[in-house]
Structures are given as structure tokens and as C-alpha cells.
Homo-oligomer: A and B are copies of this chain.
Amino acid sequence: MSAGLDLAPASQGDAGTDLGRLSLNTATTKSWTLQQAVDGAVAAGLPAVGLWRDRVAEVGLERAAQIVTEAGLRVSSLCRGGFLTASDDAGIAAALQDNRAAIVEAATLGTRELVFVVGGLPSSPTPGAAARSYPAAGDGRPTSADPDRDLVATRQRVADRIADLVPFAAEHDVRIVLEPLHPMFVADRAVVSTLGQALDLAEPFPAETVGVVIDTYHVWWDPDLEQQIARAGAQGRIAGYQVCDWLLPLAADPLLSRGHVGDGYVDFATITRWVTAAGYTGDIEVEIFNQQIWDTPGDQTLATMAARHRTFVLPYLGPPTP
């Protein structure tokens, strides 16, 4: 991090300034309270924050909404709904209830974009052959003899739960934003693994009710990415653009292997051009889970975010929206 960065605050909410689309996701400054994150974003000249439900819950929903509104910030998204893969009735009911609560929270906080991490396989399979045996192959349906490992059926349940939630989301003017996660998280976190698959899941529903978020960490590897970003844009489904980099070696917990833009392997020039060409003009959130960054003072993290944004993202965003 070079010193002497120009951190003069931009006019809040003015997309014409160079940080006018940069949003701080509160997960990036994990040690900060909501109030601290909001104050930090304002001080750094950012017009928006992305909120996690835990930070909101700490101060209460109404107070959280008030803190953000008083600071004059936009809420670029709320993280997160999802975890829709349960196969038992109680698990399904609990998931629907929690997601309805999240939809209400998003509406109260003034964001339309509720990010969904859909969940992994229904339960951790028991390792080893002794614990289970497959029946002989038969009629071919269901595709798997093992419900705990049945990815096809698990993905179908995600589709079913989205259909369950769409009317409630529409009623509250909130969008279910599907987040494809990197395929290395398919077992334990999200069975939606590509942008194309997320768009297939969204397809039956209106674009204002089911969208997608493009998180570079999760999708940068995808040979089909340019085409799927264009498809998402053409359908009006791009609900967010989250930037962070892919670091190697992977952290012991690969979730924490996300780095500042520019510190890893992601080609932000190319992906940002694709997102811009697809017509996206919304906020660009920095959401980084990384122990070293969490151990760094928040204002320093924000300064790095701003500097990297100017170098690696801003030149490829096209002209500011008028």
C-alpha cells in the first residue's frame, strides 16, 4: 500500500465522482460495528454499504436503517438469505421462515437486493463405505441411490424454494439475488456453482424479483463467463457486482482466501468490461473475507479499497452515468 493516497471525500451518492459506485460490504471490516462501518464509508467518500444481517441484528433493524439513512448512504445489498436445500419438512419450513424475515429486513433497510447463498448438500455424508450401501441400479429415477449426495435433487429443491419465496419477495418489492459460489463450495455451502446455472434458476421469474450477483472470486474461472454476463445484462438481472481477488495458496478455510483487488489472479479489466458492456450501472461492492485484512485497521482497508478501485476497476467502467 503506497502512502499519500488522495482520499478526498466524493459527494455522497454522486456516480459522477471516481468512488461514486464503490460500496463497502460490512464483512470486509469485520471488527467494525455497523455505525463504525457507516462512518468509515462516509469518511472515505463512499456512497454505499452492503450489509450483513448479523451487523444489522446487533443494533436492531429499525436502528440500523436509521444509521444508514442518516449517513446518506445507499444500501447496495443485504447478505444474506438462502440455505434452501433442506429435504425434511421442518427444515424447509424453517428456511422459508428465515428467508421471509430476511426479505422484510431488506425492504426495511431500503435495498431491493437480497443476496442468496443457496446452501450445500443436505447433510454431510458419513465417510466410508461401511456406513452405506447402494441398492442395485434400477429404473434410473431418482438419479441417485443416496439422498445425501444427490446433487441433482438438491438443486431441484433450490428451484422449488425460490418458487415458494417469489410471491412474498415481489409483495415486498425485494429481489432474490442468486449468488453462484465457486464450485469448491458445492458440497458444503452452495449448489449453485455458475452464473449460467443461476440464470437458469431465475429464468421462470420476473427480472425484478429474481436476479444474480457477480462475485469475481466465485466466477472468474468460468469459460462461459462473458456470455453469461451478457445474458444476465440482457435480461436485466444483474443485481450486483462484487470484486475481490483470488489468492494462492488457498487459505486453510478457502472462504478466507479472498484478497484485495490486484493482489491475486483475477483479470478485473476484462470482467469489468464485460459487466459494463452488459449495461450494469449499479454499485460495486468490495466483500473480502481474509484474516489478515480483518486484522488491519478499517480505515486502512478502506484506503486500499479506494486505491485499488481507481487502478483496477474504474478505468473499465465506462463513462459515469449522468
Contact = CB atoms under 8 A, between A and B. Distances in A.
Interface in A153-190: 155, 182-184, 186-188
Interface in A226-256: 226, 246-250, 252-254
A178 B318 CA distance: 38
A107 interface: no
A221 interface: yes
A38 to B, nearest CB: 26
B252 A183 contact: no
A200 B253 CA distance: 33
Given A197-B223, A222-B183, A129 B307 contact: yes
SS of A interface (majority): loop
A127 interface: yes
A206 interface: no
A145 B271 CA distance: 11
Contact of A149 (B128, B183, B188, B266): B266
A261 B134 CA distance: 13
A90 interface: no
Interface in A271-322: 273, 307-308, 311-312, 315-316, 318
A150 B267 contact: yes
Contact of A144 (B134, B259, B263, B267): B267
A140 interface: yes
A72 interface: no
A230 to B, nearest CB: 13
A205 interface: no
Given A134-B312, A184-B221, 18 more contacts: A125-B265, A129-B263, A129-B308, A132-B262, A134-B316, A135-B315, A137-B316, A145-B269, A149-B266, A183-B221, A184-B254, A186-B220, A187-B264, A187-B265, A193-B221, A196-B224, A200-B223, A249-B253
